[in-house]
Chains A and B, each alone.
Chain A
Amino acid sequence: AQSVTQLGSHVSVSEGALVLLRCNYSSSVPPYLFWYVQYPNQGLQLLLKYTTGATLVKGINGFEAEFKKSETSFHLTKPSAHMSDAAEYFCAVSEASGGSYIPTFGRGTSLIVHP
């Protein structure tokens, strides 16, 4: 069975600092991996995803994530935080089970950006 752990319910950074949001997963087969962002009072939207191929994935707004199979991790990074990055971030994993893929979401990490 798959599960997703996001370390830290809140991460606080200064504007211009590195952003690192951690995601670890458990899966019995190679999964598909996703990061979504949720701005206040909105639904979730895709930041980036990994399915196959290159393990370093680039997404929107300067974010990227690296799939590390040996560490079962898919951490999200951005070199320089901007005030507009303040939002809730969700890691999700989807693996095949009984012929279907059912995604599982982490509990989310709230990114706080200080001026």
Chain B
Amino acid sequence: NAGVTQTPKFQVLKTGQSMTLQCAQDMNHEYMSWYRQDPGMGLRLIHYSVGAGITDQGEVPNGYNVSRSTTEDFPLRLLSAAPSQTSVYFCASSRTGGETQYFGPGTRLLVL
């Protein structure tokens, strides 16, 4: 099993550009989520999904979109990148939100 995979590992964007961060899991987990990690701020929840076709906003959703068309994939879209979105992004999955979260290796995003 590959677990949770994220692509790309590193990305540089210019302000105003859009991009999609990919996340996939092969554990048949229903719950998937996106976090951003910034120094001193810990992990902040961006969006989450409790199953295919169901998504909801977390703590910091502005500027990001998600969709969940399959159980395996949960892409995160940046609509118009801003320097404030420079961060490390982690995708996680679990059977349910109350169980152990399995994290991907992260995507480092730099917005100039």
Contacts and interface: CB of A to CB of B under 8 A. Distances in A.
Partners in one complex: yes
Interface of A: 9, 32, 34, 36, 41-46, 49, 51, 90, 92, 94, 96, 100-108
11 contacts: A32-B99, A42-B105, A43-B4, A43-B105, A46-B100, A94-B98, A101-B31, A101-B99, A102-B48, A103-B98, A105-B45
B42 A105 contact: yes
B90 A44 contact: yes
Interface in B56-100: 90, 92, 96-100
A43 B103 contact: yes
B98 A96 contact: yes
B105 A34 contact: no
Given A32-B98, A43-B90, A94-B98, A107 B42 contact: yes
B53 interface: no
Contacts of B35: 105
Contacts of A100: 50, 96-97
Q: Which 8 A-B pairs have the closest CB atoms?
A: A101-B98, A43-B103, A107-B42, A101-B97, A105-B43, A44-B103, A94-B98, A108-B42
Interface in B1-50: 4, 31, 33, 35, 40-43, 45, 48, 50
Contacts of B31: 101
